[in-house]
Structure 1
Amino acid sequence: MSERVVIHQKSNFDTDIRSLDPHMPGSTDLHKVKHIADLTPYGMLLSSLGSCTAVVVHTYAQYHGLKLDEVEVTAEYQRTFKQDCEDCTEIDEYKEQITMEINFLGGLTAQEREKLFKVSKQCPIHKMLKSGIDVKSRMADAYNQS
């Protein structure tokens, strides 16, 4: 199982998100995301990670006067099962991985590009995913039940 999104973010924070169409299984063409329903839950996570990464990088570049015009982030989620299976939805043994490729567009030196790459890892979503996060849910108290 895999999912992929591509985020283009300009220096004015104008953001374009493209993903595989969740309504067309097997399609390899990316389409522009216009509504949240255009994304799967995995696509939402990847879009959040990629957009957060781009914002962090652009903010740093602007603060330090770097000539960064656009950030392009390609993020891919991959789930690999440890054994062959007919219906892999019932198997709990698998490895999950997110890979990101970040492209910095603009008049940047190699040293500035390297610094921006290091800064990209400061995205809060990147940090949460990397370290893991405990999610605790509870049902809200019912009010005005009729």
Structure 2
Amino acid sequence: MAERIVIQQNSEFEAAFWSLDPDHPESGRLRPVEHLHSLSPYGLLLAGLGSCTADILHTYALHHNIDLDEVEIALQYERAFDRDCVNCEDIAEYREHISMDVTLTGNLSPAQREKLFQISHHCPISKILRGGIEVRSHLSDRSRIESPRTRTPL
């Protein structure tokens, strides 16, 4: 199973997203993402990681007067099974990984390019994915959904 997302963001923080066609992922062709609901949960995760990374890079460049014009983040999620199986359901039976290719454009020295690449690892979403996070969930006692504007905090 593979999922691909490409994010391009300019120095004005304007971003464009592309993903594999969900109806024909085997084609390898990317298409513009027009609505979040067209992404799978894996696509949403990749989009969050990629946009967070691009934001961190442009913010750092802005505050350090680095001439960064555009960032492209190409991400791919893959699940690799430890053995060839038909009905692998146990999480221990496969490994998951995300590949991320960072492209930087602008009038950048080799030292600036390397520094920006190191900064790309400081995105909060990247830190969470690398270190893991405990998620605590519970079933609400509420019997109806309220507008977020009128809801009391958790």
- Give the TM-score taking structure 1 as reference length: 0.93
Q: Which position in structure 1 is the counterpart of 2:82? A: 82
Q: 1:23 to 1:82 in 2, by over 3 A?
A: same
Is residue 26 from structure 1 mapped to residue 39 from structure 2 by the alignment? no
Q: Which position in structure 2 is the counterpart of 1:116? A: 116
Residue identity in the other structure for 1:135? V
- Shift in Å at residue 45 of structure 1? 0.2
Unaligned runs of 5+ in 2: 146-154
Measure, in 1, the Cα distance between the counterparts of 2:144 and 2:98: 43
Measure, in 2, the Cα distance between the counterparts of 1:121 and 1:97: 15
Measure, in 2, the Cα distance between the counterparts of 1:35 and 1:87: 32
- Give the TM-score taking structure 2 as reference length: 0.89
- Shift in Å at residue 144 of structure 1? 5.8
Q: Which position in structure 2 is the counterpart of 1:50? A: 50
List per-residue Cα deviations over 1:43-93 (Å, max 9, x = no partner). 1000000000000000000001111000000111111001111244x2431
Does the 8 Å CA contact 1:6/1:73 hold for their aligned counterparts?
A: yes
Does the 8 Å CA contact 1:21/1:38 hold for their aligned counterparts?
A: no
Measure, in 1, the Cα distance between the counterparts of 2:116 and 2:98: 20
Unaligned runs of 5+ in 1: none
Query: RMSD over aligned Cα, in angstroms?
Result: 1.5
Does the 8 Å CA contact 1:21/1:39 hold for their aligned counterparts?
A: no
Measure, in 2, the Cα distance between the counterparts of 1:143 and 1:3: 36
List per-residue Cα deviations over 1:17-49 (Å, max 9, x = no partner). 100022334231100001012211101000000
Q: 1:144 to 1:95 in 2, by over 3 A?
A: closer
Runs of 4+ in 1 over 6 A off after TM superposition: none
List per-residue Cα deviations over 1:83-133 (Å, max 9, x = no partner). 111244x24311110110101000000000000001111100000000001
How does 1:54-133 map onto structure 2 within 5 Å?
Answer: 54-88=54-88, 90-92=89-91, 93-133=93-133
Measure, in 2, the Cα distance between the counterparts of 1:27 and 1:125: 29
Measure, in 2, the Cα distance between the counterparts of 1:110 and 1:38: 38
Measure, in 1, the Cα distance between the counterparts of 2:90 and 2:50: 29
